[in-house]
């Protein structure tokens, strides 16, 4: 079978490897769709494990199961989580599923024709796709689940004024979900195409992030935002986020600058204004279940976010599109598609 082995963004090699056979508690799935996540192109985050086969936004079909697997059958249409929590440790019991370190196994990368799913993910990380959910739509389950969790951590309430800085795929999901929850949502980005997408997907207002977001926000709405979701990693975006949150408000760091970048937090000002800064990383099983419900019901529309469909052989071009970010929102790889 073919896999795309990632060394760095400018070195992705299509390689032939043996197609694995499932052991007694494993299963083999055929990857139909796998999205390129923004985190896939963040080299400082991925390089420590390179070379590797990436891809964690997977829609697949079961093709073979081990003789001890009785929960799944060939032909089942599934989404598989990249990793699962134990649900028993102190982190899990306190709702910090992403911080669980008890379960070490991860899903092998989805930028491959087939994946051998390990036992723990067969048991606790595989979800049957609803009949009306396509494989392409299933690639949004994990990213939307991350958005669900971030908005829960923000304590988002109906009627809140929400600012989303960065209108890539995650930012656009934040916009849709916050609108569905009855918030007024303002979107900011430097890219005109992405501002147009934000408007099309329900943002109440759009702001050119190349200018002062704070000035535009206050001029139009008379105040700053109750909640700011930072979905852009540029240092200037972080600085803008600090300036745009209202007293008593919340800033969610949904993405961060590279570890070599120094971020200065105005803690003295935030202390008197009672500003909350929270980080949000990955998701947990309840968030995945909620994301599936949102996509299935149409409460969050994902098809309009797909800009590119590419075969595995063209994955290097897909990574370029995502890394550049100016002409793409969601790039989906189809390992069995031929160009």
Angle between helices 141-153 and 169-180 (to 10 degrees): 60
CATH of the domain at 91: 3.90.180.10
Tell me, yes or no, whether 153 and 96 share the same domain.
Answer: no
In the chain, the percentage of residues whose pLDDT exceeds 90 is 99
Q: Is the pLDDT of residue 194 over 80?
A: yes
> Is position 72 within any domain?
yes
Tell me, yes or no, whether 134 and 254 share the same domain.
Answer: no
> Is position 79 within any domain?
yes
Report the alpha-carbon distance of residue 31 to residue 74 in Å, rounded: 13
3-state secondary structure of 75: coil
> Is position 120 within any domain?
yes
Count how many Cα atoms sit within 13 Å of the Cα of residue 313 in the half-sphere of its side chain.
Answer: 4
The dihedral through the CA atoms of 222, 208, 195, 323 has a sign that is: negative
What is the rounded average pLDDT of the residues 207-231? Answer: 96
CATH of the domain at 254: 3.40.50.720
Tell me, yes or no, whether 155 and 134 share the same domain.
Answer: no
pLDDT at 338: 82
> Is position 285 within any domain?
no
Tell me, yes or no, whether 48 and 108 share the same domain.
Answer: yes
Query: Mind listing the pLDDT tens digit for each residue in 78-129?
Result: 999 999 999 999 999 999 999 999 999 999 999 999 999 999 999 999 999 9
> Is position 7 within any domain?
yes
Q: Is the pLDDT of residue 284 over 70?
A: yes
Report the alpha-carbon distance of residue 176 to residue 302 in Å, rounded: 10
Tell me, yes or no, whether 8 and 111 share the same domain.
Answer: yes
Residue given tokens 């002062």 in the structure block: 212
Tell me, yes or no, whether 179 and 60 share the same domain.
Answer: no
Report the alpha-carbon distance of residue 214 to residue 244 in Å, rounded: 5
Give the length of the chain: 339
> Is position 297 within any domain?
no
Tell me, yes or no, whether 242 and 306 share the same domain.
Answer: no
CA distances 203 to 161, 185, 253, 296, 305, Å, are 11, 5, 20, 21, 14
Tell me, yes or no, whether 316 and 250 share the same domain.
Answer: no
Number of domains the chain contains: 2
What's the pTM value of the predicted model, to 2 decimals?
0.96
Tell me, yes or no, whether 131 and 158 share the same domain.
Answer: no
> Is position 265 within any domain?
yes
What is the rounded average pLDDT of the residues 301-322? Answer: 97
What is the rounded average pLDDT of the residues 2-14? Answer: 98
Beta bridge partners of 188: 165, 207
Instruction: Write out the H or E segment, with its range, that includes residue 218.
Output: helix 213-221
Phi, psi torsion values for 267, nearest 5 degrees: -65, -35
Cβ atoms of 55 and 112 closer than 8 Å: yes
Final residue belonging to a domain, choices 279, 294, 320: 279
Cβ-based burial of 205 (10 A; exposed 0-12, middle 13-18, buried ≥19): middle
pLDDT at 339: 67
Tell me, yes or no, whether 236 and 123 share the same domain.
Answer: no
pLDDT at 116: 98
> Is position 290 within any domain?
no
Q: Is the pLDDT of residue 233 over 90?
A: yes
* Domain containing residue 159: 147-279
What is the rounded average pLDDT of the residues 131-140? Answer: 98
Tell me, yes or no, whether 212 and 154 share the same domain.
Answer: yes
Query: How high is the mean pLDDT of the chain?
Result: 97
What is the rounded average pLDDT of the residues 23-31? Answer: 98
Query: Mind listing the pLDDT tens digit for each residue in 39-93?
Result: 999 999 999 999 999 999 999 999 999 999 999 999 999 999 999 999 999 999 9
Tell me, yes or no, whether 272 and 306 share the same domain.
Answer: no
């Amino acid at each position: 079978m073919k896999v795309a082995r990632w060394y760095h963004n400018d070195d992705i090699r299509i390689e032939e490897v043996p197609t694995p056979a499932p052991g007694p508690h494993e299963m083999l799935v055929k990857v139909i769709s796998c999205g390129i996540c923004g985190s896939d192109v963040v080299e400082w985050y991925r390089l420590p494990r390179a070379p590797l086969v990436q891809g964690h936004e997977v829609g697949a079909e079961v093709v073979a199961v081990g003789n001890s697997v009785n929960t799944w059958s060939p032909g089942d249409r599934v989404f598989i989580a990249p990793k699962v929590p134990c649900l028993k440790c102190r982190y899990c019991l306190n709702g910090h599923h992403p911080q669980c370190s008890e379960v070490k196994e991860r899903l092998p990368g989805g930028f491959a024709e087939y994946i051998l799913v390990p036992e723990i993910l067969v048991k606790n990380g595989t979800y049957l796709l609803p009949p009306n959910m396509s494989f392409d739509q299933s690639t949004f389950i994990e990213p939307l689940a991350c958005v669900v969790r971030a908005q829960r951590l923000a304590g988002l309430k109906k009627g809140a004024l929400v600012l989303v800085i960065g209108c890539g795929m995650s930012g656009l999901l934040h916009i849709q979900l916050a609108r569905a929850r009855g918030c007024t949502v303002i979107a900011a980005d430097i890219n005109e195409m992405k501002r147009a997408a934000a408007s099309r997907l329900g943002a109440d207002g759009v702001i050119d992030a190349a200018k002062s977001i704070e000035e535009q926000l206050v001029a139009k709405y008379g105040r700053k935002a109750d909640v700011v979701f930072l979905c852009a990693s540029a240092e200037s975006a972080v600085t803008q986020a600090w300036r745009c949150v209202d007293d008593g408000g919340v800033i969610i760091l949904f993405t961060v600058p590279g570890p070599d970048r120094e971020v200065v937090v105005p803690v003295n000002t935030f202390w008197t204004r009672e500003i909350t800064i929270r980080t949000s990383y990955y998701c947990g099983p309840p968030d995945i279940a909620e994301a599936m419900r949102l996509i299935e019901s149409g409460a969050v529309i994902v098809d309009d976010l797909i800009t590119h469909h590419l075969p595995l052989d063209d994955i290097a071009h897909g990574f370029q599109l995502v890394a550049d970010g100016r002409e793409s929102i969601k790039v989906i790889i189809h390992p069995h598609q031929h160009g």
